[in-house]
């Protein structure tokens, strides 16, 4: 019986656990301080995901067969390095390779050196220099905190003063703390975005099913950026030829550049892409599965997930021939707390329609949830414990079926002030309507 530790406790990690359990119910699964949904699948390890030394010691003592690292923070803190030193197989990049997400400035320099297409940019540590550049360039312009900011460190500014204020707040530490010590100011690219996961073994890469994330909090992609309000897959406008171009022009040169820096990348290299008039360009790289993209890509994966994770974690080469995908589509809707992505309350009591969630085509992935502590009388009430509370994935033979199931499920996650977008996939549906005679 294999023992697997999943590090992290959000929606992405619940999805990873769900997929591992679906593939092989005999696996013995563990998770770091799991949310309420994860706790039904995995035994708790009472260590923070960022306690890299504690986790490495625990994994060695428990004799786990594989550690799957979900979030970016423990990767950037060197968890995989600690595990490798103890000869424990771990899925995820080393600290030096994880810089591709942990430092946007590093990622931009890497892309420049590798000839990878991306937006023009400059980096700043001085507010006055950043302001002068912003005023010279004019809007629209993008201001990014270089460090890790939970997916909310990029601000698209339509006014000069908005951009100047964003840069000032980042560099002063007001906005994102240490993550904003360096800011990247970019040209604003126009086009449609998509997310592509690349399973990388250091030198080669296997691209998984592309998806589209919806970052803005409001309908029709309005309002501030969030960690993601929903996603869908597959994408009708992405062909096999296009993916091969992305692999050849973006992923392979990036992996080669990391090898040249002594930081070969093994794990999931996530490329956020913009489809511009000049072709696909990189918006950002992440060093792990995206959230909520994982909630649509992994349910469509028909192959066992372990068959992809173990070769990468053990230092073997990838075999792309055995990867199979389910037919149809997946769409996920994130149910958020009132006030998100700003300040929001925790501890709101939740109710779920258990009968609805017994449908195998409607999947509930917990993100920010917890159980009320209760003595020996069984589990306590289900409570909210985060800004993004849950993601409901609908599956179907068509995207319309997947959307309808996802929305039915989102309506069945009830707590005071619960809110979600009803238009996930709206660009895809607009395309379909335009193509009708």
C-alpha 81/C-alpha 26 separation (Å) is 28
Q: Given this model, what pLDDT does residue 378 score? A: 65
Give pLDDT, residue 377: 60
Q: What is the reported pLDDT for 14?
A: 98
- Mean pLDDT per 10-residue run, the chain (437 residues)? 94 98 97 97 97 98 98 96 97 97 93 94 89 89 85 82 89 79 90 95 95 95 91 95 96 98 97 94 95 98 95 86 90 98 96 95 98 73 97 98 98 98 95 64
User: What's 372's DSSP letter?
Assistant: P
129: left (phi over 0), alpha (psi -120 to 50) or beta: alpha
Q: pLDDT at position 200, please?
A: 96
d(CA 292, CA 280): 22
DSSP 296-333: HHHHHB-S-THHHHHHHHHTPPP-GGG--B-SSEEEEE
Q: What letters, b where the CB count within 10 A reaches 16 and e where it falls short, cover 232-260? A: bbbbeebeeebbeebbebbbbbbbebbee
Q: Quick one: pLDDT at residue 435?
A: 62
Give the CATH number of domain 3-94: 3.40.50.20
CB–CB of 14/38 below 8 Å?
A: yes
383 close to 372: Cβ distance less than 8 angstroms? yes
How far apart are the C-alpha atoms of 166 and 157, rounded to whole Å? 9
What would the DSSP string read from start to end of 273-297?
EEEETTEEEEEEEESS--TTTHHHH
Task: Report how far residue 267's alpha carbon sits from residue 98's, in angstroms, rounded to the nearest whole number.
Answer: 10
The two tokens of residue 395 are 């599956």
pLDDT of residue 149: 76
The yes/no answer on whether domain 126-181 falls in CATH 3.30.1490.20 is yes
| Nearest alpha carbon to residue 418 among 380, 391, 379, 381 | 391
CB neighbours of residue 436 within 10 Å: 5
Q: How far apart are CA 82 and CA 58, in angstroms?
A: 11
Per-residue pLDDT at 436 = 54
Fold of 192-322: D-amino Acid Aminotransferase; Chain A, domain 1 (3.30.470)
Which architecture does CATH list for 329-435?
A: Alpha-Beta Complex (3.90)
- Supply the mean pLDDT for the chain: 93
pLDDT of res. 362:
98
pLDDT at 374: 65
User: CA-CA distances (angstroms) from residue 116 to 11, 314, 427?
Assistant: 31, 29, 27
Cα–Cα distances in angstroms (integers) from residue 428 to residues 140, 238, 276, 409, in the given order: 25, 12, 17, 21
Cα 179 to Cα 186: distance, rounded to the nearest angstrom: 17
Element (H, E) at 169: helix 160-172
Give the pLDDT confidence score for residue 174 in this predicted structure.
Answer: 78
DSSP string, 390-408: EEEEEEESSHHHHHHHHHH
| Selection from 240, 214, 158, 172 nearest residue 429 by Cα | 214
For the chain, domain boundaries: 3-94, 126-181, 192-322, 329-435
Q: What are the beta bridge partners of residue 218?
A: 222
pLDDT at res. 207 = 96
């Amino acid at each position: 019986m294999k023992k697997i530790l999943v590090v992290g406790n959000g929606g992405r990690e619940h999805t990873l656990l769900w997929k591992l359990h679906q593939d092989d119910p005999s696996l013995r699964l563990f998770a770091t301080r799991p949310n309420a949904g994860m706790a039904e699948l995995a035994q708790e390890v009472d260590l923070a995901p960022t306690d890299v030394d504690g986790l490495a010691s625990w994994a060695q003592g428990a004799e786990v067969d594989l550690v799957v690292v979900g979030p970016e923070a423990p990767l950037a803190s060197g968890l995989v390095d600690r595990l490798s030193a103890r000869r424990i197989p771990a899925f995820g990049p080393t600290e030096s390779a994880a810089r591709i997400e942990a430092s946007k400035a590093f990622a931009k320099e890497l892309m420049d050196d590798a000839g990878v297409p991306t937006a023009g940019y400059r980096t700043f540590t001085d507010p006055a220099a950043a302001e002068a550049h912003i005023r010279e360039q004019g809007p629209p312009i993008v201001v990014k905190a270089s460090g890790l900011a939970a997916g909310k460190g990029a601000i698209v500014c339509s006014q000069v003063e908005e951009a100047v204020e964003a840069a000032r707040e980042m560099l002063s530490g007001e906005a994102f703390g240490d993550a904003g010590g360096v800011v990247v100011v970019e040209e604003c690219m126009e086009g449609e975005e998509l997310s592509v996961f690349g399973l990388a073994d250091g030198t080669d890469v296997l691209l998984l099913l592309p998806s589209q994330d919806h970052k803005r909090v409001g309908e029709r992609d309005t309002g501030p950026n969030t960690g993601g309000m929903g996603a869908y897959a597959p994408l009708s406008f992405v062909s096999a030829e296009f993916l091969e171009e992305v692999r050849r022009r973006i992923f392979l040169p990036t992996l080669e550049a990391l090898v040249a820096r002594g930081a070969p990348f093994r794990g999931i290299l996530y490329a956020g892409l913009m489809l511009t008039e000049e072709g696909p360009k990189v918006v950002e790289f992440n060093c792990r599965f995206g959230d909520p993209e994982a909630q649509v890509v992994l349910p469509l994966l028909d192959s066992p997930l372990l068959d992809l994770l173990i070769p990468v974690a053990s230092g073997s080469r990838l075999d792309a021939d055995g990867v199979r995908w389910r037919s149809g589509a997946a769409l996920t809707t994130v149910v958020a707390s009132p006030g998100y992505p700003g300040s929001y309350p925790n501890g709101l009591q939740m109710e779920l329609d258990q009968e609805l969630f017994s449908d195998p085509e409607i999947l509930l992935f917990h993100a920010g949830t917890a159980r009320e502590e209760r003595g020996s009388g069984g589990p306590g009430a289900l409570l909210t414990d985060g800004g993004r509370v849950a993601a409901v994935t609908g599956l179907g033979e068509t995207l319309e079926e997947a959307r309808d199931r996802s929305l039915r499920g989102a309506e069945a996650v009830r707590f005071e002030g619960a809110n979600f977008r009803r238009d996930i996939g709206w660009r895809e549906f607009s395309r379909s309507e335009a193509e009708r005679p």
